């Protein structure tokens, strides 16, 4: 099947309707809790603006990003929904955060003071979310210091303690005892604040895995990232992902074919001699585009003509080769599917992740910017 490519012979096709479907599915699952869509890292490689728009169309109430610049991109695209920054940002960015109407996370008195000062200068109280480190040990105020910081925020004229939250370290393993331990610590913090007369309007803890597997932890809202893109948060919750649809399809086309004889090999190192005369298809996409170099040795491959074709040798920076055996029908211009469906066959980012001993997050986030995204 010939494919029309307007520029280079490789691209990522993003199914926006899948994002909308996944957001609506998750919203129905967790109701009455609200859904905030995590669109950091350029929407996990899918395109942050387009993903945000599709998620909001599916019923998401807000968005989450990692960096100020990511929030600014959304605002400049005309998106007005709440945008939560998922960690405390450099304090000198406080005026930018407040000016663009982003919702900051605060975890220190200095960070809260910087936001509060910027808010006071603009004549308003800035909604902030206080993050508590209950065991992830990445970012967050310790549980024993949370009340002190909450009091400071509550007393500052430039701050409004809108949210309180934490993050689970092993939610993708629902039976892990750390989940209950973290939940208990967080519940204690919530109770301590309320006993002191401080009641944040939005209390949240659940990421994708917890939103799927732990109804009791959905609270006021859930932060859904990987599930929004139709991928599994982890093997422990894979059975709960059946209604989600992968949104990314990584496709290319055959640029050249050649026959090699029995015993010959291709690519750097000539590592995989063929055991019979074979047709080799060259595909102009490589590890600089996000196809991991080590994938060649896992038995993985790509789809051509609805048939799985193994990698013929080492994946190079800009190109890879497929072993098509004795199939002489493969020709330049044929569609190559690296991630996605073709005919009755399917390869997912999770398949790559399992082969490489990593997670689907890394695969989709690793699709390089030089691969154009086409939103369908």
Catalytic residues: 40, 268
**Is the distance from CB of 313 to CB of 267 less than 8 angstroms?**
yes
Residue 121, C-beta contacts closer than 8 angstroms, at least 6 positions apart: 95, 158
- Rounded-to-integer distance, Cα 29 and Cα 26, Å: 5
- Rounded-to-integer distance, Cα 296 and Cα 294, Å: 5
Cβ count near 62 (within 10 Å): 19
- Rounded-to-integer distance, Cα 12 and Cα 327, Å: 27
- Rounded-to-integer distance, Cα 67 and Cα 100, Å: 13
Tokens representing 74 are 């959304």
Q: Measured in whole angstroms, how far is the alpha carbon of residue 132 from the centre of its chain? A: 22
For residue 190, give the nearest of 172, 217, 211 by alpha carbon.
217
In the DSSP assignment, the letter for residue 2 is B
**Is the distance from CB of 172 to CB of 163 less than 8 angstroms?**
no
Q: What is the DSSP string of 62-127?
A: EEEESSHHHHHHHHHTT--S-EEESSPPPGGGHHHHHHTT-B-EE-SHHHHHHHHHHHHHTTSPEE
For 291-337, the three-class secondary structure string (H helix, E strand, C coil) is CCHHHHHHCCEEEECCEEEEECCCCCCCCEEEECCCCCCCCCCEEEE
**Is the distance from CB of 58 to CB of 20 less than 8 angstroms?**
yes
């Amino acid at each position: 099947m010939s494919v029309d490519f307007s520029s280079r012979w490789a691209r990522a096709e993003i199914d926006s309707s899948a994002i909308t479907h996944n957001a609506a599915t998750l919203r129905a699952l967790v109701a009455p809790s609200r859904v905030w869509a995590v669109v950091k890292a350029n929407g996990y490689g899918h395109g942050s603006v387009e993903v945000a728009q599709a998620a909001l169309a599916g019923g998401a109430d807000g968005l989450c990003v990692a960096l100020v610049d990511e929030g600014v991109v959304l605002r400049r695209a005309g998106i007005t929904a709440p945008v939560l920054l998922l960690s405390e940002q450099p304090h000198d960015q406080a005026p930018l955060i407040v000016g663009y109407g982003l919702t900051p996370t605060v975890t220190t008195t200095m960070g809260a003071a910087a936001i509060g000062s910027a808010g006071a200068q603009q004549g308003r109280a800035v909604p902030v979310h206080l993050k508590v480190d209950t065991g992830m040990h990445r970012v967050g105020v310790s549980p024993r210091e949370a009340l002190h910081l909450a009091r400071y925020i509550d007393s500052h004229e430039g701050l409004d303690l809108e949210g309180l939250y934490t993050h689970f370290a092993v939610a993708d393993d629902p039976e892990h005892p750390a989940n209950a331990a973290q939940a208990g610590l967080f519940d204690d913090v919530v109770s301590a604040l309320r006993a002191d007369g401080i009641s944040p309007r939005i209390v949240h803890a659940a990421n994708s895995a917890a939103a799927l597997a732990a109804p009791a932890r959905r609270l006021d809202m859930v932060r859904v990232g990987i599930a929004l893109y139709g991928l599994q948060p982890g093997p422990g919750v894979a059975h709960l992902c059946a209604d989600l649809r992968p949104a990314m399809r990584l496709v290319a086309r055959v640029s050249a074919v050649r026959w090699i004889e029995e015993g010959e090999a291709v690519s750097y190192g000539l590592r995989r001699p063929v055991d019979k005369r074979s047709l080799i298809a060259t595909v102009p996409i490589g590890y600089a585009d996000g196809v991991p170099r080590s994938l060649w040795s896992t038995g993985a491959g790509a789809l051509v003509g609805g048939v799985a074709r193994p990698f013929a040798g080492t994946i190079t920076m800009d190109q890879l080769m497929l072993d098509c055996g004795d199939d002489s029908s493969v020709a330049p211009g044929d569609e190559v599917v690296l991630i996605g469906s073709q005919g009755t066959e399917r390869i997912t980012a999770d398949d790559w992740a399992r082969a490489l001993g990593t997670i689907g997050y890394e695969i989709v986030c690793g699709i390089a910017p030089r691969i154009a995204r086409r939103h369908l």
